[in-house]
Structure 1
């Protein structure tokens, strides 16, 4: 039976991606091997994978991940406090579909959206 999903996103530079997710967003590196072309990070039961794509043009990258949280206001404020740039069109707001959301872009233009359901 299915138990989890681990999105795979492109990265141009493992060092830059690793720094962003570990040092800015508070993830930790996971996995038992460290390859130059692959990165796995996790935080609070969420795991993201990244594959090396050096030729990636960030302006043409449409990678996206939607992460659920149960503390959207606190998470948003923590990002502001740590000066993590919020997407210009992704400020914290309640969407017409009833979910409070905000978004950021990682160094490779992967869109990371955080949402809290009212269910």
Structure 2
């Protein structure tokens, strides 16, 4: 039985990534150890892990995560209030696949898509 998944995404700068996820999106740092070149964050039951990739070109990063939620409107408002990078096509929309979604980009252009069933 599979019970959970924790995606691993690239980051160029750990303090910048930590600041974005903790102070803009409200995640908490996971674990008690501060690993060199590695970061783990958690919000509710969602964990995202990051590995250091200093040579990453953000414009060539295709890291993506789809996060299901039951409070999409609150998450979208948080993203607007915190002025995070929402791509032009990433604003809140109802999709034909019966999901209400929006997307944002973190400092390394990892795409986070939030979705809620309609």
After TM superposition, the score normalised by the length of structure 2 is 0.95
Provide the aligned C-alpha RMSD in A: 1.0
Deviation (angstroms), 1:61: 0.5
Matches of 2:81 and 2:68 in 1, distance apart?
Answer: 20
Matches of 1:112 and 1:78 in 2, distance apart?
Answer: 14
User: How many residues are aligned here?
Assistant: 118
Unaligned stretches of 5+ residues in structure 2: none
Contact kept, 8 Å, 2:25 with 2:78, in 1: the verdict is no
Aligned match of 1:66: 66
Asked if 1:87 corresponds to 2:91, the answer is no
Contact kept, 8 Å, 2:71 with 2:116, in 1: the verdict is yes
Matches of 1:66 and 1:24 in 2, distance apart?
Answer: 18
SS in 1 for 2:89: coil
Deviation (angstroms), 1:96: 1.4
Deviation (angstroms), 1:2: 1.7
Matches of 2:117 and 2:110 in 1, distance apart?
Answer: 22
SS in 2 for 1:75: helix
Moved over 4 A (4+): none
User: 1:56-104, CA deviations, whole angstroms, 9 ceiling, x for partnerless residues?
Assistant: 1111100000000101112111221222232211010001111000000
SS in 1 for 2:90: coil
Deviation (angstroms), 1:36: 2.0
Deviation (angstroms), 1:35: 1.3
Matches of 2:9 and 2:83 in 1, distance apart?
Answer: 23
Aligned match of 1:53: 53
Unaligned stretches of 5+ residues in structure 1: none
Q: What is the 5 A alignment of 1:2-41? A: 2-41=2-41
SS in 2 for 1:70: coil
